[in-house]
Amino acid sequence: MKFYFFFLALSVCTVSILQAQTSKELENAYTSNIPLHQEIVSGGYYVDPPQDIEGSPYFKSKNFEYGSLTINGLTYENVPLLYNIFSDEVVTFHPVHKQKTLIKTEKIDGFILPDKIRFIRIKQNPEYSHHGKGFYELVEEGEEANLLCKHFKTTKAKREMTQYSSIFLEKSDFLIQKGDQIIQVKNKGQAIDFLSLEKKQINRSAKEKALNYRNNRKDYLSFLVEFYNKSSHE
């Protein structure tokens, strides 16, 4: 019995230490980013999503991850970031109040998450229904054209009776940005025409690289945008 109470007490202490360490790590991330802290404190407190929706509204991880954040042209490293793709908002950790806080969207130029996943903000894209706050993954970058990916989540009502009334569903669209134009890619022919590429040449090159639009849209479209950017300088 004594061993049981000792083990329980030890477990509670261990959890408390881990929680304190996590909080301390998040606070330390801001010690070297004081100007960043001043930039984001006015972003407003973040409200967690309703508990009756199954799943997570976040991109990849529901936990804070350290990345870089560019605000008003200045880049800050090792910033705790959380990207809510349901509301299309970027969240960070408030070191004073020790809670999640929003970063003002209009101040953000872009951010980079682990695995070098880079997001940029596009102010306007009126032709696209899932534009949200304007955050897009920059998949392929070039001087003439970029390949973008919009990650977003929707909700769907659940038919069965459970503790959840609905569920988060994740989706993504690919878009090509060329100059002031942005189109949502719905098929490979549309992408080839938008970039004014020669279909026979593209089909031949794609076959040589074993690229197939249906099997891997990301790699195929990256190839198209890269090909276009290179050909524009020849």
pLDDT digits (tens, 9 = 90+) for 75-101: 988 899 999 999 999 999 877 777 888
Answer yes or no: do 206 and 118 share one domain: no
User: What would the mean pLDDT of 147-154 be, rounded to a whole number?
Assistant: 98
What local confidence, expressed as pLDDT, does residue 159 receive?
86
Answer yes or no: do 99 and 158 share one domain: yes
Residue 149 reports pLDDT greater than 50: yes
Residues contacting 10, CB < 8 A, separation 6+: none
Residue 8 reports pLDDT greater than 80: no
What local confidence, expressed as pLDDT, does residue 21 receive?
40
Q: What is the pTM of this model?
A: 0.83
Looking only at Cα atoms, what is the longest distance across the chain? 80
Answer yes or no: do 92 and 108 share one domain: yes
Answer yes or no: do 80 and 195 share one domain: no
Gap between the Cα atoms of 77 and 81, Å rounded: 11
Phi-psi region of 93 (alpha: psi -120 to 50; beta: other; left: phi over 0): beta
Residue 139 reports pLDDT greater than 50: yes
List the domain range (segments joined by +) for residue 149.
Answer: 2-184
What's the chain's average pLDDT? 85
Number of compact structural domains in the chain: 2
Residue 160 reports pLDDT greater than 60: yes
What local confidence, expressed as pLDDT, does residue 13 receive?
40
Q: Are strands 53-54 and 166-178 parallel, antiparallel or unpaired?
A: parallel
Task: Report the share of the chain in percent with pLDDT over 90.
Answer: 67
Answer yes or no: do 214 and 114 share one domain: no
| Contact criterion met (CB below 8 Å) for 85 and 59 | yes
CA distances from 27 to 68, 79, 147, 165 (A): 16, 10, 35, 36
Answer yes or no: do 93 and 23 share one domain: yes
- For the stretch 116-131, pLDDT in tens is 999 999 999 999 999 9
